[in-house]
Structure 1
Amino acid sequence: MKKLLRQLIQADSTQNKGEVLAAEVIATYFNRHGIDCRVDQWDGNRANVVAHVKTGRRRPALLFVCHLDVVGPGEENWRHPPFAAVEDGGRIYGRGTTDMKGGTAAAVAAICEMARSKKGLQGDIVFAATAGEETDSSGVVRFMQDRDSLPPLAGIVVPEPTDFAVITAHRGLFWLKITTRGKAVHSSMPERGVNAIGAMKRVLDELERYEIQAEPHPLLGKCSMSVNMIAGGEAMNIVPDRCSLGVDIRTLPGQDHETIRYDFERMLARLKTGVPQFDGELAIERSAQAIETDPECEFVKTFCSAVGVDLTNVIGYTTDAPHLLPLGAPIVIFGPGKPRMCHQVDEYIEIADLQTGEDLFKSVIARFLA
């Protein structure tokens, strides 16, 4: 398994490189273990990989869903090169070791080990590692287009790094982009133009007063909103004719994203009414609903028993899990790796945690399917 993880880290799957090399690493591993596996490649370097351990289907299947992509290493210096997968002091260092190639390697190894005793499995195992979780979730959306081919599911496991906490709920995300447009003129004559940055200031003033109407969740807390990106202007001597703003909203289970979108549309319409020169438009950059699996359902209780955990937990960030909701199966997020290491310089995973992850995934498979 260590070798598999090192190969996955060395297969740089940042946004510019794409996921195809990492997908091929996993496909090769599954094929060597006699498991049916295919790589779905598009746009040159984008890729998903899907494996299927088929049985007589006396029991509902388990679905494991991971992501192949990683964020970039950043500009800071690393103790070890971010894609060298150096083993040092009982750890493997590299971008993606924790988020989430460590959990992916543990799940793949567990599936291959359990498939050796195929006669003992009473239900199928489906594994998918998808593209773009860190950016646009394009891979899991593409995977879901073929969901009718999946067997009936007992449940879904997302092996994100939770430090072996069983997660049954997390907030959703709703990313909005606001663009204001003006009229460019030489900055020595600003009165002849329309300043798009000035127009965006009106939007920012409105957002300062705006509060999303949502009842706090007993575990996830409040819905949040943060203005995280702004860009505008071409040169110091030109009145800007365009400005864009990025707003990150984190939503709660049951919250309607369309209601929020409507609030923003009304805000822009109100500004247009008050200032005829104002020209602004709204676009949805990314949308994923919150998830909440009943911690008292049979799947979660059996899963917790299999991994030796008494209580479930929640997280504030978002995964690809919401895109799996149409499958109608309970979802848990569970895997090796400490969440605080995600996206950090000198990211690493403990080798002992990798082995524990494989052992616990084997225990889950045995409990549901053996």
Structure 2
Amino acid sequence: MPVNPRDLLAELIAIDSVNPDLVPGGNGETEIVDFCTEWFKRNDFEVHRLEQRPGRPSLVAVKKGTGGGKSLMLNGHIDTVGTASYDGDALKPEVEDGRMFGRGAFDMKGGVAAMMVAAAKATERPLRGDVIVACVADEEHGSKGTEEVLTRFTADAAIVTEPSHLEVTLAHKGFVWFDVTVEGKAAHGSRPELGVDAIAKAGHFLVALEQFSPTTEHHLLGKGTIHASLISGGEEASTYPSSCKITLERRTVPGETPAQVEAELTAILDHLTATVPDFRAELTRTLARDPFEADHDAEIVKTLIAGLGTPPVIRAEPFWTDCALLDQAGIPCLLFGVDGAGAHAATEYVDLASLDRLTEILTGTITDFCG
């Protein structure tokens, strides 16, 4: 039988599911998938375990409908960031002043608990459409979990239960990562006429980067941003550095593409090559995730908003989520989740009233959309 989402959340928090791609030696998702598997089986769901990457499973639980209805996927990630920086016992859920504390309480085991309980409650009576619950691995690093789920499952619509403070999130930024390798020429520090200082040349690029401003502007997200995340170069104090590597992150808004961003950076580097003596650099794109914007008129958006009972707050998020992957797969979706604070922080909590409210709203949305 369905349990109280507060009780389920406490059990989920107590399971270590630190992403090992973020924290070497992290526990990963195996233990929490084992727990969720048994929970869904007790609630009469058909359970599928996906584990293309050994030790990094995701789970898809399905309650098939009677036929003729629309299918809905609820998606939430079960991995967390590390616990070492948490203030206290990150795996010991504690309740105080209407809040539950613990690693993942806000990001995003609260959303996972709500969608699990809502799916079970909504399907106590048969619905016409299928209800699909995806508890996915690896969202905190590479989103390999949702990518794997989408090779096997689809739906007529989806809700991602990332925390949104019970506000309807219809857009978020994407990102593109680049490496810029500025080339110099090694030489002894006493022979400046033979050397080219790659680090000093990289400084020209960093100044140009600080002066750069994207042109595309989104009505909810504003403009994209860019920053230098990492820098390395040189061998020793007495040698001119032969290279300097800079890693960049460019946050993108709807309407911007990785190719467009790469062209912008290429133009900056080409200008420096033409105007700065001995400037040479190579640009390499390493990872790109597209921004997301929902169709405001999509049926799932209208259905969820109709169930709120009050005029919705429409918002956008600066961070990336698996909504973009679902959207790219042709599944209309939106983001809607709990209130709270502390994602990736030393103290993390979920507002328990919002957890209850989220469960209620999701239950109604599932019933209305699939029934």
Range with bigger deviation, 327-336 or 267-276: 267-276
**Contact 1:99 / 1:160 at 8 angstroms: preserved in 2?**
yes
Match of 1:41 in 2: 51
Match of 1:141 in 2: 147
Deviation at 1:54, TM superposition (A): 1.0
Q: Which residue of 2 aligns with 1:105?
A: 113
Report if the CA contact (8 A) 1:171-1:316 is conserved.
yes
Aligned residue for 2:6?
A: 2
Counterpart AA for 2:18: S
- Tell me the SS of whatever aligns to 1:225: strand
Q: Structure 1 residues 129 and 187 mapped into 2: Cα distance closer, same or farther (>3 Å)?
A: farther
Residue equivalent to 1:11? 16
Percent of pairs with identical residues: 29
Shift of 1:190: 5.6
Q: TM-score, normalised by structure 2?
A: 0.87
Single out whichever of 129-138 and 162-171 deviates more from structure 2: 129-138
Distance 1:22 1:309, change over 3 A: farther
Shift of 1:97: 0.6
Q: 1: CA distance between counterparts of 2:161 and 2:203?
A: 42
Segments of 5+ residues of structure 2 without an aligned counterpart are none
Within 1, Cα distance between the matches of 2:314 and 2:234? 45
Contact 1:169 1:313 in 2 (8 A): no
Distance (Å, rounded) in 1 between the aligned partners of 2:281 and 2:161? 41
Q: Is residue 307–residue 363 contact of structure 1 (8 Å, CA) maintained in 2?
A: no
Q: CA RMSD in A?
A: 2.5
Write the letter of the residue equivalent to 2:16. A
Cα deviation, residue 73, structure 1: 3.7
The answer on 1:303 being equivalent to 2:300 is no
CA drift of 1:255 comes to 2.0
The number of aligned residues is 360
2:336 maps to 1:334: yes
Q: Mark the runs of 5 or more structure 1 residues left unpaired by the alignment.
A: none
Distance 2:277 2:56 in 1: 44
- How far residue 238 of structure 1 moved from its aligned partner, in angstroms, is 4.6
Which residue is equivalent to 1:251?
Answer: 252
* Partners of 1:183 and 1:240 within 8 A in 2: yes
> What residue is the counterpart of 1:85 in the other structure?
93
Pick closer, same or farther for the CA change 1:103–1:271 going to 2, 3 Å.
same
User: The residue matched to 1:60 in structure 2 has which SS?
Assistant: coil
Deviation (angstroms), 1:321: 0.8
1:46 is paired with a residue whose SS is coil
User: Structure 1 stretch 219-228 or stretch 98-107: which is displaced more?
Assistant: 219-228
Q: 1:354 to 1:204 in 2, by over 3 A?
A: same
Partner of 1:95, secondary structure, is coil
Deviation (angstroms), 1:143? 2.3
Residue 122 of structure 2 corresponds to 114
- For residues 201-212 of structure 1, what are the structure 2 equivalents within 5 Å? 201-212=203-214
1:328 Cα offset (Å): 2.5
**Distance (Å, rounded) in 2 between the aligned partners of 1:7 and 1:184:** 57
Compared CA separation, residues 358 and 290, structure 1 to 2 (3 A) = same
Shift in CA distance, 65/237, structure 1 to aligned 2, threshold 3 Å: farther
- Going from structure 1 to structure 2, the CA distance change for 1:351 and 1:98 (only over 3 Å counts) comes to same
The 3-state SS of whatever aligns with 1:177 is strand
| Residue identity in the other structure for 1:353 | S
Deviates more, 1:298-307 or 1:105-114: 298-307
Q: Shift of residue 165 of structure 1?
A: 0.6
CA distance in 1, matches of 2:111, 2:40: 16
2:269 is equivalent to residue 268 of structure 1: yes
Whole-angstrom distance in 2 between the partners of 1:93 and 1:181: 49
1:188–1:86 distance in 2 versus 1, CA, 3 Å: farther
Note the alpha carbon deviations across 1:61-96, whole angstroms, 9 max, x for none: 111111122222464x61x31122233443321111
The residue identity in structure 2 corresponding to 1:20 is T
Partner of 1:58: 68
Q: Would the alpha carbon gap of residues 181 and 367 (structure 1) be closer, same or farther in structure 2, given more than 3 Å must change?
A: same
Q: TM-score, normalised by structure 1?
A: 0.87
The structure with more helix, counted as a fraction of residues = 1
